[in-house]
Structure 1
Amino acid sequence: MTASQTARQLARAELTRAIKASATRQLGETGAAALSLRAVARDLGLASSALYRYFPSRDALLTALIVDAFNAIGAAAEAAAVGPGAPGARWLAACRAVRRWALAHPQEFALVYGSPVPGYQAPPDTVDPATRITRLLAALVLEAHAQGQLCPPAQPLPGPGLITRRVLDPLGGPPAEPYADLVERSLTLWISLVGTVSFELFGHLDAVVTDFDAYFDATVVVAAEAVGLAVPLGE
């Protein structure tokens, strides 16, 4: 690799970051549905034709922003969950990390967990980044189960199962009794996490909750109790 090639690569990477940053600002100002490559080009003082060499369409730019957001929020959760603590404590740490990231990056969170963008179809390469948090959740629940730290439900959900085979087959089918409904229950952890963060971020809890930090932790505990996962507070 020559010095000129390295310089071109660095320049391309820098301009790619600038394009994404401009697009993210536009998300906050006009929303994802109104994202425009021409507006980004004007913001950066570029010709539209130059921008299309980096992102051939609005959807390509949206996909790049979505992948970046999912990877960033997933990385934040994974980093927080590292450590020797009990699975429940590490799950709480991961949830708090997701909330911190969302509050610091509201436009990106809204992009991936807000209203769908009309006309946009997410390509397959968004799936792996999008499932980083759910894979982390599953790993912590399975770890708690393996360590005997998971309590069976007091009232099992009535059958038949509510989760598709597409999800269950890679797991080897439904868990054995008394945890046959564990996958259904575990889904509530992810939904509670994203839902609570969304309600806070979009103002639905304003004038309702007195302490957002404490309320967020409480929702994590309530959701975890439904799974049988002990989440210690005050840590």
Structure 2
Amino acid sequence: MAQTPRERARVQTMADITRIGRDHLAVHGAAGLSLRAVARDLGVVSSAVYRYVASRDDLLTLLVVDGYNALGDAVDAALEAVPGGDHAERFRTLGRAVRVWGLAEPARYALLFGSPVPGYAAPAEQTTEPGTRVVGRLVEIIQSAFGAGALQPLPAGSSTPALAGDLAAIRAEVQLSMPDEVLARGVLVWAALFGAVNFEVFGQYGPGTFSDPAALFECHLDALAAMVGLR
């Protein structure tokens, strides 16, 4: 069904608010976001903006969802160029796409994976689905490799009844067949991948420590691929 002129205007206004919010995020950071400032740059009185975004927290949620989807789109686009059966290269491609996006969008990356914004709690019903797009693709790669017999055998790791129950719940929820040792290492790969990107985006290595951070990241990807058994 075609949109009415009013619906098209609303969609365009929301897009403009999101764009201006991204610009303000890059300049002022999440803690410095202001709906009044967004309204000023939008060219309307502040009361008009509240018809679209009710509060600063709603603006943050809008930007969080926008950021997660932008990152997910970047990963999806990168993976389109890699054959489905090349699991190790698909993993490396996913990791590279996350790094490239994070370095290109440090303010948006910080909103998603940096320090929590004081007083703000992201609403799960709006952010969980976009926020799990990338880890969903990672799980898809590992599960596909396991199903194809393309993972090296892994030793069983240490566990407890509580951990085994948690892993079983994840396996059932996402409909996975990989065993505990693969799933547990997959969680570590997820955490370590974003940890490596965080260190670079947030300058945690220190200035000048690595003259070729891209090469260092490739070493990390090789180690992480081996950790989960990707051949």
| Cα distance in 1 between the residues matched to 2:13 and 2:174 | 42
Amino acid at match of 2:65: V
Amino acid at match of 1:156: A
Coordinate RMSD, CA, aligned: 2.2
Cα distance, 1:122–1:166 mapped onto 2, change above 3 Å: farther
Q: CA deviation at 1:219?
A: 0.9
Q: Unaligned 5+ residue runs, structure 2? A: none
The residue number in structure 2 matching 1:35 is: 33
The aligned runs of 1:112-151 (5 Å cut-off) are 112-123=112-123, 124-151=125-152
Amino acid at match of 1:68: D
Q: Unaligned 5+ residue runs, structure 1? A: 231-235
Match 1:69 to one of 46, 67, 70: 67
Q: CA deviation at 1:38?
A: 1.1
The residue number in structure 1 matching 2:46 is: 48
| Cα distance in 1 between the residues matched to 2:187 and 2:71 | 18
Correspondence 1:220 to 2:218: no
Q: CA deviation at 1:15?
A: 2.3
Q: CA deviation at 1:12?
A: 2.6
Q: How many residues align?
A: 224
The aligned runs of 1:174-193 (5 Å cut-off) are 175=178, 179-193=179-193
User: How high is the sequence identity, in percent, across the aligned residues?
Assistant: 41
Q: CA deviation at 1:28?
A: 2.0
| Cα distance in 1 between the residues matched to 2:59 and 2:110 | 16
| Cα distance in 1 between the residues matched to 2:92 and 2:19 | 30
| Cα distance in 1 between the residues matched to 2:150 and 2:79 | 17
The residue number in structure 2 matching 1:233 is: none
Are the aligned partners of 1:87 and 1:144 in contact in 2 as well (CA < 8 Å)? yes
Correspondence 1:170 to 2:173: yes
The residue number in structure 2 matching 1:197 is: 197
The residue number in structure 2 matching 1:91 is: 91
